[in-house]
Amino acid sequence: MKASKLWLGTAVIRGIESHRSPDERLFEDRLALAFLPSVWRRIIGLLRSVGLLDAVLAMRERQYPGVVGNLLCRTRYIDDVLREALKAGFDQVVLLGAGFDSRPYRIPGIDQTRVFEVDHPATQARKRARLQQILGTLPSHVAFVPIDFDRQKLKDVMPAAGFSTGARTFFLWEGVTQYISAEAVDATFEYVSRAAGNQSRIVFTYIRKGIIDGSSRSPQDEKLISLTRRIGVPWVFGIDPNDVAEYLSARGLELVEEVGTSEYKVRYLEPLRREMTVFEGERVALATGASGARQARSGTLGAK
């Protein structure tokens, strides 16, 4: 249940962003705060009533500079590429390590696509119970697939959930890879490349390897590393940004696009005239099956 605290913290940040005016916010996620335990919802409601929501984010920013900005920008980017996949008519969407992600319930048109939420049984049980309270019933387009990535393999759990091998699938893997072993990460990428159609795609986040192994850490990176250890979910896996394309190629995938701080500022923050510090230690990559890479680059997906 320690990991669920991370997901709830993410929900708070996304929910506060959603209360900004339409011409200022990066995205809208009205379900984010609804996932919180009742006591958290009451506290957030009180803070909102007295105009102190921004103070919550400011406090987090002082503690861990750039973390809020990175989370908000990566959410916007992943929202964008998911919307493009839905417009392109993808058959399935798979959320790996879904946590309290609300995309299956808030992105327009996603209810016309088969969605699989894959996550640890404890976190998933908590989310299902809360969804039942919020929505009244669990949406029929979503299948919940419990898994422990360090002990189970996707190939052993997905077929029983109704996953269609070979169908055009959009995989979403946000904020997970740093918490699991290299072997578990490898197994997931290899499953994606083998089980999904050639035009399938995966968007995933990763932490720079230098932060994980200690060869390139700033004082702020040290604070984050210490935090993850203290709450019992240490960062254990990373990739060198210079090696991402080669890493994916060895696992049957091809890099379409990789983004981080500089891209976020140009695409999202500057047009909104927002100034935010963005953590440079995490990046997002979009990849596809090798035979689908050329089409992905020539289409709209990833070309923002």
Q: Which domains does the chain have, with CATH numbers?
A: 65-298 (3.40.50.150)
40 confidence band (pLDDT: 50, 70, 90): confident
Most distant CA pair in the chain, distance: 54
Does residue 77 have a pLDDT over 50? yes
Does residue 86 have a pLDDT over 80? yes
Does residue 220 have a pLDDT over 50? yes
> Residue 41: CB partners within 8 Å, gap ≥ 6?
33, 34
What is the rounded distance in angstroms from the CA atom of residue 25 to the CA atom of residue 21?
Answer: 6
- pLDDT of 4 reads 53
5 confidence band (pLDDT: 50, 70, 90): low
- pLDDT of 8 reads 76
Report the percent of the chain where pLDDT is more than 90: 73
- pLDDT tens digits, 237-277: 999 999 999 999 999 999 999 999 999 999 999 999 999 99
Does residue 145 have a pLDDT over 70? yes
Q: If you average pLDDT over every residue of the chain, what do you get?
A: 90
280 confidence band (pLDDT: 50, 70, 90): very high
What count of other Cβ atoms lies within 10 Å of the Cβ of residue 281? 25
- pLDDT tens digits, 160-206: 999 999 899 999 999 999 999 999 999 999 999 988 888 899 999 99
291 confidence band (pLDDT: 50, 70, 90): low
